[in-house]
Amino acid sequence: MNSPFEYRNCPCCGQNDFEVLFESNMKANDLYKSVETVYMIPGGRWGRHVKCRNCNFIYVNPVGKASEINKAYSQRKSIDASIIRENRLRASKSQVELVRRYKNGTYLLDIGCGEGFFLFNASRAGYITKGIELSQDAVEYARREFGLDVEAKPFEELRFPEDHFDIITLWQVLEHVPYPRVILKEVHRILKPGGLLVASTPNIEGIPAKILGKRWWNIRQLHINQFTLKTLSTILRKVGFKNISSVSYKESISLLMLLLPVLKYLKFYESLKGLSHPRSRLAKALNKMVLTYSSKLDNCTVIGFK
Ligand SMILES: [Zn+2]
Total domains in the chain come to 1
How confident is the model at residue 43, as a pLDDT? 54
Give the residue-averaged pLDDT of 25-53: 69
Give the residue-averaged pLDDT of 156-164: 93
Whole-number percent of the chain with pLDDT over 70 = 89
Q: Is the pLDDT of residue 113 over 80?
A: yes
**What are the pLDDT digits (tens) for 174-185?**
999 999 999 999
64 CA distance to ligand 1 middle (Å): 20
Q: Is the pLDDT of residue 42 over 70?
A: no
Report how far residue 222's alpha carbon sits from residue 181's, in angstroms, rounded to the nearest whole number: 18
**What are the pLDDT digits (tens) for 259-291?**
777 776 666 655 556 665 656 777 788 888 888
* pLDDT grade for 164, boundaries at 50, 70 and 90: very high
- CATH code, 103: 3.40.50.150
15 CA distance to ligand 1 middle (Å): 6
149 CA distance to ligand 1 middle (Å): 36
How confident is the model at residue 278, as a pLDDT? 59
Name the region of 104 (left: φ>0; alpha: ψ -120 to 50; beta: rest): beta
Give the residue-averaged pLDDT of 28-39: 54
- Contact between 179 and 66 (Cβ < 8 Å): yes
Residue 87, domain extent: 1-306
227 CA distance to ligand 1 middle (Å): 12
211 CA distance to ligand 1 middle (Å): 25
Is 96 exposed, middle or buried, given 0-12, 13-18 or 19+ CB atoms closer than 10 A? buried
How confident is the model at residue 46, as a pLDDT? 86
How confident is the model at residue 275, as a pLDDT? 62
Predicted model pTM: 0.91
205 CA distance to ligand 1 middle (Å): 17
Judging by DSSP bridges, how do beta strands 191-202 and 250-254 pair with one another? unpaired
Contacts of residue 53, defined as CB under 8 A and 6 or more positions apart, other chains included, come to 15, 17, 18, 19
56 CA distance to ligand 1 middle (Å): 6
- Contact between 49 and 94 (Cβ < 8 Å): no
156 CA distance to ligand 1 middle (Å): 23
